[in-house]
Amino acid sequence: MLELICDQAYTWSGIPADKSPYRNHGTALNTVGSFDGVEPGSGTILFPHPNSRVRIAAGLGWQPLTALKIDVLARVNLMAQAVSVLVAGHGSFRFGLSEGALEAQFDNATGTHNYVRAADAFSPDHTYHPVPANKWVKLGFHHDGFARMRLFVEDELVGEAIVEGGVPSVQGLGVSIGNHVDQDGLQFPGEIDEVRIWRLDPKAMKREFLGRPYTVDTARCWVQLFEEIVGWAKTHPEQQAALVQQCGAVQRAFLRALFLLPDSEQAKLRAALVAFGDLWFAGRIAGPEMQTVLCHWVTLLRACGLDPGGDPAGTALAAMYADVKIDSHARLECDPELDAFLRLLRKAVDECGKVAEAQ
């Protein structure tokens, strides 16, 4: 689930004001504003000098990122320098143009498998896809956070790469629009009407877990359990760190496998998750409807070659939980609905979508 962290329009003479909840307003440096953009009065910003840029501080919205989606509404003059920058984050990512075609890159631990361009082997037809000149176009960059990085012109895929790792947090120099963060001379050759940026919502799982109806007594029980877990983590820092690392590794491996699936298979899995969410948020988490949805989800996973019950990393994680003696089963007595849901999930993993072994 993505979260909007920057939504800049330049309606007031190129002033970089942000409409997102994070208020990532920018400081315009040596830029020029224009009244008309895509529509009369929509406003644009231009970067006429080698040191022109909009600077945004590295606030909380940029830490962490993991997934990253950027949409820029722009009009490009391609009779300019060979390389230019639309948006860049210090020590994190860069999105811009190279020889007239979109390109993007992010920092990762290996320094490889982190680049894409709308040309050559990266494009769907293995040809060069220049950005249309002197017309307003929507330019897009999307890194799902786990497996794929893509470029779009008017929502049409023009470049794709299989990548490793998520997009790291933006470092101290913050974010730059219209030029590189710490290098002059890469100013964007044209006008920008709007910049919108999303990241992977770090609180999405927490909100979804807490999004179903609770009784007062059940909520109090969970508060007590969470307090006990926090207390345990404070007194067992090494074990807590190992659990966090192991949980993260299992989650990243599973999500990477999902995002590597063809788009058609991902669409089927997302539809199943929508049905799951409808039941979860309505509080109907333990009945026959949920049983059907869970069985369908597990069956789809196995049809895609993903076995939710046979993952060695998951088995290792379960063993680690046992070693540190974290036992929440007794606590589920105060939330019988969730206990019943977990039993349905186990039943689905044990029984659904398995291919009968040859006799």
pLDDT score recorded for residue 359: 36
Strands 44-46 and 32-34: antiparallel
Alpha carbons 296 and 352: distance in angstroms, whole number: 8
Handedness of CA 182, 20, 167, 138 (dihedral sign): negative
pLDDT below 70 — which residues of the chain?
79-80, 310-332, 356-359
State the CB neighbour count (10 A cutoff) for residue 335. 19
pLDDT score for 321: 52
Whole-number pLDDT of residue 124: 96
- Show the domains of the chain with their CATH numbers: 2-200 (2.60.120.200), 204-351 (no CATH)
The whole-number pLDDT of residue 221 equals 87
- For the chain, report the end-to-end CA distance as a whole number of angstroms: 44
pTM of the model as a whole: 0.91
Residue linked to tokens 């949805």? 293
- What are 12-18's contacts with CB under 8 Å, separation 24+? 12/43, 13/43, 14/43, 14/44, 14/45, 14/46, 16/45, 16/54, 16/56, 16/177
d(Cα 144, Cα 235) in Å, to the nearest integer? Answer: 36
Distance (Å, whole) CA 243 – CA 317: 8
Confidence (pLDDT) at 224:
86
**Helices marked H in 166-285:** 204-209, 216-235, 237-259, 263-282
